Amino acid sequence: MAEITLDEAKKEAASLRTQLNEWADAYYSKDAPEVEDNVYDQSYNRLLELEKEFPEIVTPDSITQRVGGQIDNDFTKVEHPIPMLSMGDVFSKEELKEFDQRMQKLVGHPVEYNVELKIDGLSLSLEYENGKLVRASTRGNGYVGEDVTANAHYIADIPQTLPEPLTTEVRGECYMGKEAFAKLNEEREEQGLSVFANPRNAAAGSLRQLDPKVTKKRQLSTFIYTWVNPPEGITSQHQAIERMHELGFHTNETGRKLATLDEIFDFIDEYTAKRNSLTYGIDGIVLKIDDLNIEQELGNTVKVPRWEIAYKFPPEEQETIVRDIVWTV
Ligand SMILES: NC(=O)c1cc2c(=O)c3cc(F)ccc3oc2nc1N
């Protein structure tokens, strides 16, 4: 940590706490997250760092002192022994090139990636015992999430039992399709209720419901993309997704194993063009080193896996318009 005085640490911690409380309140109480998970995580980890360096600045009401590190809400807490991390983001093909060069340097040879659409939803963990769904939980702060098992029983594409008696955990994105989102907001408007700003907030508000009957009325879906403890013989991300599909999980079939940046850039251009015609929201493309053994070797930083990166599309409306205006001028 760069040398700072106790006084500076106190000031920075106080402003971090205010900001984190506001973000957590928006996320937990209003289902209207104001920032991406990893922006929240960066501030949260910075506060942890300051409090570790200067224990005397810890206050009892600091968000780091709360169970699960977040605003306490009514859900049962679920520990994630394997943390549900967020992903590092890049915003240009140039940065993707740098990521690829970094990977090649780390691994010592060119690597193949599994390239996937980045679904704009919220992370969901599904745990099975002997092939039965025993727990579903949200990401929370990555280390402690919320138990939403009762609600997961009402998400149609989640297999309640597997064709094999597996004891396993998979993770994916819970999302609401664009059509279901439009219908829900229409109904809410007719009932004089507030409408959701976007499908992601609608999915969060529908999954993180204390009353499962509310979730039942909402059309939630999932795309499963991670096998936390894949069985022997599954050594590639692409293969893991195919096998999870065979087991009945809803996976996104657009994923492709690509070896060169040119192919990856073509994939990005293809789905930038197709984005509006998809029946669900995406906010980018995810590149993952396909070889799961290399993923294991590279591991994670405190916040994000080293072996994957999310390329984010520019925000749909304002960014494009601004860009056009600039170019027109
Ligand atoms: N939104 C997504 O469509 C999507 C998200 C993630 C993650 O958040 C994610 C987080 C991890 F720590 C590890 C792998 C991941 O893979 C992922 N893959 C995806 N396709």
First-to-last CA distance in the chain?
Answer: 44
pTM: 0.81
- pLDDT for residue 33 is more than 80: no
Ligand 1 atom closest to Cα of 252?
Answer: 20
Do 6-65 and 77-328 have matching folds?
Answer: no
Active-site choice (97, 118, 183, 274):
118
Residue 302: other Cβ atoms inside 10 A: 12
Distance from the alpha carbon of residue 190 to the mean position of ligand 1, in angstroms: 36
Could you please report the per-residue DSSP string of 278-292? Answer: SSS-EEEEEEEESBH
Closest to 45 in 3D by CA, of 74, 85, 11: 85
- The domain segmentation of the chain, as residue ranges, is 6-65, 77-328
Helix (H, G, I), strand (E, B), or coil: what is residue 216? Answer: helix
**Helices (H) then strands (E): counts for the chain:** 11, 11
Band (pLDDT 50/70/90 cuts) for residue 73 is low
CA dist 140 and 78 (Å) reads: 9
What's the pLDDT band for 229 if we cut at 50, 70, 90? very high
Least confident of 49-63, 144-158, 221-235, 286-300: 49-63
Give Cβ neighbours of residue 116 (< 8 Å, ≥ 6 apart).
225, 252, 254, 255, 285, 286, 288
Mean pLDDT over 270-280 rounds to 96
Site to substitute for ligand 1 among 226, 250, 251, 280, most atoms within 8 A of C-beta: 226
Q: 283 alpha carbon to ligand 1 midpoint, in Å?
A: 12
Q: Indicate if the pLDDT at residue 222 is higher than 70.
A: yes
Q: State the average pLDDT for the chain.
A: 89
**CA–CA dist 146, 136 (Å, integer):** 8
- pLDDT category, 171, cuts 50, 70, 90? very high
Higher per-residue confidence, 36 vs 234: 234
Residue 324, pLDDT score: 34
Higher pLDDT, 46 or 268: 268
For ligand 1, mutation pick of 41, 285, 286 (most atoms within 8 Å of CB):
286
As a whole number, mean pLDDT of residues 248-271 equals: 97
pLDDT above 60 for 268: yes
> If you classify domain 77-328 with CATH, what class do you get?
alpha beta
CA 203/CA 32 separation, integer angstroms: 10
pLDDT single digits (tens) 294-315: 999 998 877 789 899 999 998 7
Question: Per-residue pLDDT tens for 104-130?
Answer: 999 999 999 999 999 999 999 999 999
The whole-number average pLDDT for the span 268-289 is 96
pLDDT of the residue at 3:
83
Which CATH number does the domain 6-65 belong to among 3.20.20.70, 1.25.40.20, 1.10.1660.10, 1.10.287.610? Answer: 1.10.287.610
Q: Measure 53 CA to ligand 1 centroid, in angstroms.
A: 31
Ligand 1 shell residues, CB under 6 Å? 85-87, 116, 118-119, 123, 173, 225-226, 286, 305, 308
Residue 326: per-residue pLDDT: 30
Q: Which of 2-16, 235-249, 265-279 has the lowest mean pLDDT?
A: 2-16
Could you report the per-residue pLDDT of 179-190, keeping only the tens digit for each? Answer: 999 999 999 999
Pocket test residue of 124, 170, 225 for ligand 1, highest count of atoms within 8 A of CB: 225
Mean pLDDT throughout 36-65? 84
Tell me if residue 118 is catalytic: yes
pLDDT value at 261 more than 90: yes
Which residue has its alpha carbon closest to ligand 1 atom 8?
86
Mean pLDDT, residues 29-57: 82
Q: What is the mean pLDDT of residues 82-102?
A: 93
Asked if the model's pLDDT at residue 77 lies above 80, the reply is yes
**DSSP string of 57-68, one letter each residue:** G--TTSGGGSGG
ipTM value greater than 0.95 = yes
Q: Whose CA is nearest to atom 2 of ligand 1?
A: 118
pLDDT of residue 275: 96
Calculate mean pLDDT across residues 2-12. 89
How many A from CA of 86 to the centre of ligand 1? 7
